[in-house]
Amino acid sequence: MKIIVAIKQVPERDAPVRIAPSANWIEERELQWAMNEPDAYALEEALLLKEKAGGEVIVLSAGPERVGSTIREALAKGADRAIHILCDDLGARDALGVARLLAAAIKPENPDLVLTGLQSEDVGSGQTGVIVAELLGLPHATMILQVETIEPGLKVKRELEEGWFQSIELPTPAVLTMQSGGNKLRYATLMGIKRAKTKELRTVNAADLGVDGASVAMLERISVPKKQKSTQILPGSAREAATALVEKLKTEARVL
């Protein structure tokens, strides 16, 4: 099976994010970057499918130069080759604009399966995979935890709300967006990291894909969220704060 995994590089989870002076994106300088976690689960599922049934795993990522490090990480974990869509204005494109780039790069590869995470940890629109499916004219399923190949096609376990699940059967080629937690993520081995350096990494300029980049949903401004409640922060050492909290919970909130 030929599988394309679309991954995104996002600011590292604990990295302090600041608003850029332009106020329409975050300050990217001095940020640490990582693979979007749901995408890491998509990659893991692709590698497991390949180990079971053979085939090829191709990682695809759009973004500026820095995205190369995340692509290398995916190659080190076991992907066979990679396509980097070089694009310096990813943040200015909406989900349709990004999906158009990805779909244009995926189409000539004719994969059997396209996997990606259910949403990104930065913008979090949760739409890219579904739109890619629509643009490619492929069936899709979202929030998938497990993938099984059946004759013909796939059987997947989809997460529903409040602890419910559902099985879905669908033909290939198809697009699946993966939920986190379905598998255990692997680490890259030293051998893997070494091998990654020799694997094919093809760079395509976004402009050469000939897709419309105009936004329909425009991000105008970024701000710090308004507080929903006034939080009493209890100061002092751990012991002082803990003692003060117990007192507050008893006499003020009356929940003890």
Query: Is residue 241 close enough to count as binding other proteins by CB under 8 A?
Result: yes
Query: Is residue 234 close enough to count as binding other proteins by CB under 8 A?
Result: yes
Dig out the tokens for 113 from the structure. Answer: 């399966």
- Number of residues counted as binding other proteins (CB under 8 A): 77
Q: Which residue has the tokens 């993520």?
A: 185
Residue 120: other Cβ atoms inside 10 A: 22
Q: Considering only residues 156 through 215, tell me which ones interact with other proteins, judged by CB under 8 A.
A: 159-171, 179-181, 184, 215
Q: Which of 178/196 has CB closer to other proteins?
A: 178
Query: Is residue 139 close enough to count as binding other proteins by CB under 8 A?
Result: yes
Instruction: Please pick, from the candidates 48, 64, 134, 204, the single residue that binds other proteins as defined by CB under 8 A.
Output: 134
What are φ and ψ of residue 117, in 5° steps? -75, 160
Q: Considering only residues 52 through 81, tell me which ones interact with other proteins, judged by CB under 8 A.
A: none
Q: Tell me the closest approach of the beta carbon of residue 176 to other proteins, in angstroms.
A: 11
* List of long-range contacts for 46-52, beta carbons under 8 Å, 24+ apart: 46/3, 46/5, 46/79, 46/113, 46/115, 47/77, 47/78, 47/79, 47/186, 48/183, 49/1, 49/3, 49/113, 49/147, 49/149, 50/1, 50/3, 50/78, 52/149
Q: Dihedral sign, CA of 198, 85, 121, 11?
A: positive
Q: Considering only residues 76 through 95, tell me which ones interact with other proteins, judged by CB under 8 A.
A: 94-95
Q: Which of 107/250 has CB closer to other proteins?
A: 250
Collapsed DSSP state (helix, strand, coil) of residue 25: coil
Instruction: Please pick, from the candidates 88, 109, 124, 197, the single residue that binds other proteins as defined by CB under 8 A.
Output: 124
| Contact (Cβ atoms closer than 8 angstroms) between residue 166 and residue 158 | yes
Stretch that binds other proteins, among 11-19, 47-55, 104-112, 190-198 (CB under 8 A): 11-19
Q: Considering only residues 16 through 35, tell me which ones interact with other proteins, judged by CB under 8 A.
A: 16-17, 19, 26
